Amino acid sequence: MFIMNTLITHKKDGIGWIQFHRPAVRNAVNQEMMAELEHVITEWEQDETLQVVVLYGDEKAFVSGGDVEAFHQIHTKEEIYPVMKRMGDLLQRISELKCITIAAVEGIAVGGGCEIVTSCDFCLASKKAKLGMIQSRIAITTGWGGASRLMNKIGKPNALKMLITGEVIDVERAKEMQLVDEVIESSHFLEKVKVFAQQFVLPSPMIGRAYKEVALALEQGTPLSAFAKIEAINCADCWEAEEHVQAVERFLAKRNKVD
Ligand SMILES: C[C@@H](C(=O)O)C(=O)SCCNC(=O)CCNC(=O)[C@H](O)C(C)(C)COP(=O)(O)OP(=O)(O)OC[C@H]1O[C@@H](n2cnc3c(N)ncnc32)[C@H](O)[C@@H]1OP(=O)(O)O
C-alpha cells in the first residue's frame, strides 16, 4: 500500500486500486491530488501486469468535484484554464488506459467527481450513491471534459438535462440512464467491487487490452473498415502465447480421450 497526502494506492493480483482520500472535504480535488494522480497514472500506464484499475472514495463520497475553496483563490480565466486543462488531460489519459477502469461510487459523486466517473469504462455504485454534474449550480460548466463523455455515455437529451439543470440523481435513475452499470449493496461494498473486477483478470492480460484498444479506436472515430486489420493483428498477437497453446492442447486432449 502506498499512502500519499491525497491518495492511497495499492496493486494486487492484476488489479490497481486508487482511493481518493481527503475525507474532510468529501475527497475534493485540489492541485496536490492532481499531481499525485498524475504520478500514479504515469507509472501505471507502463504496467502491463495491470488488467483493471479501480477508482474509489469512501462511504460518504467518491469525489465532490474540484476543491471549491482552493479554486476560489484563482480569479482570472488565464490562471484557471491551465488548472482545468491539466485535470481534463489527466482524465483523458485515464480513459485511454489499456486496462479496464472502474469507478466504484459510494455516497456522492458530483461536479468533477461525476466527470471522473465518465472517464471510466464501468461505474459500480452503492444503493446510497448519488451522482450529478452540478457545475451549473455554481454558474460554471464542466472543466474536465465530462460533458462530452457524458453525452457519449447517456445520450444527448439526458446529458443536456443533467448538465444544465445540475440535478443530482439516485442510483436507480443513473442505472436507467446507463451512467451506472451495476448497483451494489452497501455492505461489504469494496469486496463486491473486487469480485466484479476479478472477472476481467485473465491468465492472458493481452485479451482485455486488445478489446480495450478496439473500444477506444471505435470511440475515437476509427472507420469500421480498419478493424479487420486491427482485430487480426490482436488475435495473431495472442496466437503464440503459452495460454492459447495450452488451452487448445487441453481441448484437443479431451476430444481425443478414450473413455
Ligand atoms: C472543478 C469543477 C469542474 O467540474 O470542472 C467542479 O467540480 S465544480 C463543482 C464543485 N463541487 C461542488 O460544488 C460541491 C460542493 N459540495 C457539496 O455540494 C456538498 O458538500 C456535498 C458534496 C453534496 C456533500 O454534502 P454533505 O452534507 O455530505 O457534506 P458537507 O456539505 O457538510 O461537507 C463536508 C465538508 O466538506 C467540504 N466540502 C464538500 N465539498 C467540497 C468541495 N467540492 N470543495 C471544498 N470543500 C468541500 C464542506 O465545505 C464541509 O467542510 P466543513 O466541514 O469545514 O464545513
User: By the 8 A CB rule, do 11 and 60 touch?
Assistant: no
Pocket test for ligand 1, best of 33, 59, 64 (most atoms within 8 A of CB): 64
Helix, strand and coil percent figures for the chain, each rounded to 5: 50, 20, 30
Pocket test for ligand 1, best of 6, 26, 31, 134 (most atoms within 8 A of CB): 26
pLDDT of the residue at 257: 63
pLDDT of the residue at 192: 98
pLDDT of the residue at 201: 98
pLDDT of the residue at 172: 97
Dist CA 252 CA 257 (whole Å): 9
Whether 144 lines ligand 1, by a CB cut-off of 6 Å, is yes
Ligand 1 centre and the CA of 248: distance in Å?
54
Closest C-alpha to 17, from 46, 48, 44? 44
pLDDT of the residue at 96: 98
- State the pTM of this model: 0.96
Closest C-alpha to 179, from 142, 154, 157? 154
Residue 188 DSSP one-character state: T
**Burial bucket for residue 230 (CB in 10 Å: 0-12, 13-18, 19+):** middle
Residues 6+ apart with CB under 8 A from 241: 204, 206
Q: Which atom of ligand 1 is nearest to the CA of 113?
A: 7
pLDDT of the residue at 254: 86
User: By the 8 A CB rule, do 108 and 61 touch?
Assistant: yes
Q: Which atom of ligand 1 is nearest to the CA of 60?
A: 28
Pocket test for ligand 1, best of 68, 108, 142, 162 (most atoms within 8 A of CB): 68
Q: In sequence order, what are the beta bridge partners of 169?
A: 131
Residues of the chain with pLDDT below 50 are none
- The alpha carbon torsion through 30, 36, 42, 46 (nearest 10 deg) reads -130
pLDDT of the residue at 255: 76
Dist CA 56 CA 194 (whole Å): 12
Ligand 1 centre and the CA of 28: distance in Å?
7
ipTM rounded to 2 decimals: 0.98
Ligand 1 centre and the CA of 25: distance in Å?
6
Ligand 1 centre and the CA of 213: distance in Å?
36
Ligand 1 centre and the CA of 222: distance in Å?
39
